[in-house]
Amino acid sequence: MGTDGVYARVHESSLRDFVDRFRDWMAASESDLAPLLPACADYDARVEKARRLRELLYEAGWGRIGWPEEAGGHGGTILHRAAMYDELFRAGWGGPTVFEHLEIVAPTLVRYADPEFTRAVLPTFLDGSESWAQGFSEPEAGSDLASLRTRAEFDGTDWIVNGAKIWTSWVKYARWCLALVRTGTPEERHRGLTMMAIDLRAPGVTARPIRQANGNDELGEVTFDGVRVPPHQIVGEVGGGWRASMYLLAHERGTLSWVRHLGFRENLKSSSKSMSENSDRQVGEAALQLLGVRSTAINLLAREASEQELGPDSAFNKLLTTRTEQTVYNALRDIDSARVAFPHDSDEDSILQQEYLFSRIVTIYGGSQQMQLMTIARHILGLGNA
């Protein structure tokens, strides 16, 4: 089915019909699709596969579904995107790599960025030709975003940015960085922050990858030395960065869990051949937690599709997803420890080791476990508000 056909029919069908048509396209495109689905241990090669898959989906029209027409999409909702992710994982997909940020950054651009800027950059994100990094944490401002020091001053023409970011996701591969900077005084804390899109190819930007314990260059550090940012690249309002960042983090902690839990599910399934009777309890616990994440994620997807705020419920979802991720990979470690400790030359086993090691940090990134517990206590349970 061509791009025009996908575009026309997404508006007139049920989600079930949409999934059936996507499966038909996958079957008809198997020769082009199959080489792009499995992950490989080399992360650079994995990113290149992800780019090529996004290009294939975009050219066929599927990669534009779930995004508003005025921003370059084909209409539909996040439920269409979620259904496609589900089918891709069932077909053996290794995951989105750098394009996880599509579900974090792109909704924020659609909601808060200048419409013309969004129309210019979103299609290149959807087709895989350009990707985005997220610049929040700093050397002395990790979980406490309100204390960040990277500063932007307006010179009458552009914003001039100076400072540094650390633990910047996928900066090695990105063209753009959605950064949170200080435009007010330090005393204003979160009220003095602004979100902006910074071109990582601009003069004054220096990016260096950080090699992780699992061997990947997913994270990096970035310095800005007199970097010029045009006013139309402000995302939201000047001084309104905190609100935009809370919207972004609700997606990182909430709806992104749909994509992540699908990968956990497939890894658990693929390891079933190694399971013994002694594994039943651990595997059962992991499977039950996966169902819990799936249920809470579906609820958040439905709220997003109906344009409701995700709010503090995303913190609960982040906690549940974090616990589930560690439960799954702990179970896989205990089922066959050699695969995790000594993966040898097997891509599948090397990736399992990488993901097991990554699961050790999930209680920190995207807001620590303690911060999520505080959010739940205050904003869901109403504790400490008296």
What are the residue numbers of the active site? 252
Are the C-beta atoms of residues 333 and 367 closer than 8 Å to each other?
Answer: no
Q: What whole-number distance in Å separates Cα of residue 327 and Cα of residue 26?
A: 32
Provide the β-strand partners of residue 205: 224
Which residues, 6 or more positions from 325, have their beta carbon under 8 angstroms from its beta carbon? 260, 264, 359, 362
Q: How many residues does the chain have?
A: 386
Return the SS3 of 127: coil
Provide the β-strand partners of residue 209: 220
Are the C-beta atoms of residues 224 and 199 closer than 8 Å to each other?
Answer: no
Please name the residue ranges forming H helices in the chain: 3-9, 15-28, 30-33, 43-59, 78-90, 105-112, 115-126, 241-253, 256-270, 280-305, 313-335, 337-341, 347-358, 369-375
